[in-house]
Each structure stands twice: as structure tokens, then as C-alpha cells.
Amino acid sequence: MKIITSAKEMQQTASDLKKQGKIIGFVPTMGFLHEGHLSLVNKSVSESDITVMSIFVNPLQFGPGEDFETYPRDMQRDQLLAEEVGVDILFTPDVTELYPVEPSVKVQAVKRTEVLCGASRPGHFDGVVTVLSILFNLVKPDKSFFGQKDAQQAAVVEGLVKSLHFPIEIIPVQTVREDDGLAKSSRNVYLSDEERQEAPVIYQSLKSSADIYLSQGIEPAIEHFQKQIAAISGEIDYVDILSYPELQEPAPEDHRLIIAAAVKFKQARLIDNVIFSTKEEI
């Protein structure tokens, strides 16, 4: 596995690979890797000639009071895991490599961002689309892989690629879960023992709420989720049912929907979702 820290070297390496006709798969991460990240690499390895993973904790997508400084980091461990799972190039720039000067142009996400995480984290997705625009320009991927746990992010990135005509296929990969259903997340390390026992209720409640939506509608489904979470120590940041990937209020013609939620514990904010269909045959 080759480790690159320079933006210029990454761009040149990617250009050389493209000239050789190599298909580049890209897995952008903020590190502290877990099985969810590794499942993205597995998918990339199976569909690409070269797999590039980036590890970069992006300050632009953290708001005031969020956990940028304390976000878990373990580069030595991440390098070992990345190599074991088949990453060919690990791109680990520091902040000055990606943001060397104050930018004269900003990238702004204007759709699919006013709901869910975007509603409570203003500017978050602007930071996401900004850093991805830079990374896509440097890595030059043919395909990029995103976990479905961050379903809103995947939807926003699809919009970015279409709007700016990046020649990249965005491939969502199914959420990787613990045996009890809790979505794998770097922030799970913040949970106390009691909170870790309670956290699987989030996914269980999303699934049952989706079923209730199909038979009773949106209000009973949301109320069911709220009651389930009220029984544990977590506090709901948001829960909503929307069309997917448009992330708008469902219309009768919308058959692919998402129920998504964020639940705050003492030191962790966990997100999860269930994407479901109103058509039985899908």
C-alpha cells in the first residue's frame, strides 16, 4: 500500500493511473476505521483496478461546539486496517494540503440539505461538498463509495456529482451493523455501557415505524418512534419520513421513502435510517 500526504502527488498519481486506463475506486473517510468503512473498500476492490482511501478529518463540516478536536483518531491503526483490506493508495493530507489559502470560491449545497442533519447542522453539507469537490479533483475516481447509514450525505453527494458534472458513479453500500442491529459508527466509542445497551432501540424503532407508516400513515409512525426513544436515555434530535433521494415531503407518486433519525446521548449523537418502499414488489 502506498501512502500519499501531498495533494500534488495524489493528483499526479491519479493522472498517471488514468493514462494507464485504470478504473479508480475511491472511499473518502474521516478515519478511525470500522467494519462499515472496510465494507466500502471491499466493494471498491471488487469493482475497481485501484482503490484509493482518504483519511481527513474535515474541519469545514463541524459546527461550533461539535466534536472536531475530540473526534477519534488513530492513524497507525487505520493504516494497518486499510492495508489488510486491500487499499492500494492511502491519501492522508493535513489541513494545509487541502486548504492552503483562504478560498476565493465556495461550494454550497442548496438542495436535500434543509431537513434531517442539515436542519440542525447549518453549513455541515457545505463543508462536505467542498472537501469532496477537492478530493474528487485530486483522486479522479471513476467510482466513489458511500455508506447508506449516512443516507442524506449520499443523496447530497449524488446531487453534487450531477450538478457539477463530475464523471463519477456514486455507489451506496448497505449499512454495516453490530449483531444487535446498532449501526457501526466511529462515535459509538463515546457511549457508556448503559447507552450501548439502549442504542439498538433506534434501529428497531425505525423498522417498526416504517411498517406502521405503510398501514397507518406518517403521524402514527412518528409517534411510535418518539414513544420508543422516550423509554431510553437518548433524546431525539430529529425523526422524519421523506422521499428518497429527493428528501422532500412524500407525495402519492413517491414510492421510495426513508425514515431517518438522530438521537443524542450524553457524549454521542447517533444517526440511522431505513429506506423502504410503498410497493410490495420492490
Catalytic residues, which ones? 37
Place of cell 461539535: 66
The 8-class DSSP code of residue 148 comes to G
Binding region for ATP: 30-37, 147-150, 176, 184-187
Task: Provide DSSP, 168-208.
Answer: -EEEEEPPPB-TTSPBP-GGGGG--HHHHHHTTHHHHHHHH
Q: Under a CB-based contact definition with an 8 Å cutoff, are residues 262 and 238 in contact?
A: yes
Q: What is the DSSP string of 33-88?
A: --HHHHHHHHHHHHH-SEEEEEE---GGG--TTSSTTTS---HHHHHHHHHHHT-S
Residue in this structure with the C-alpha cell 421523506, named with its chain if needed = 242
| Region at 32 (left for phi over 0; alpha for psi -120 to 50; beta for the rest) | left
What are the binding residues for beta-alanine?
61
Q: Note the maximum CA span of the chain.
A: 57
Total Cβ atoms within 10 A of residue 228: 17
Residue ranges of the binding site for (R)-pantoate? 61, 153
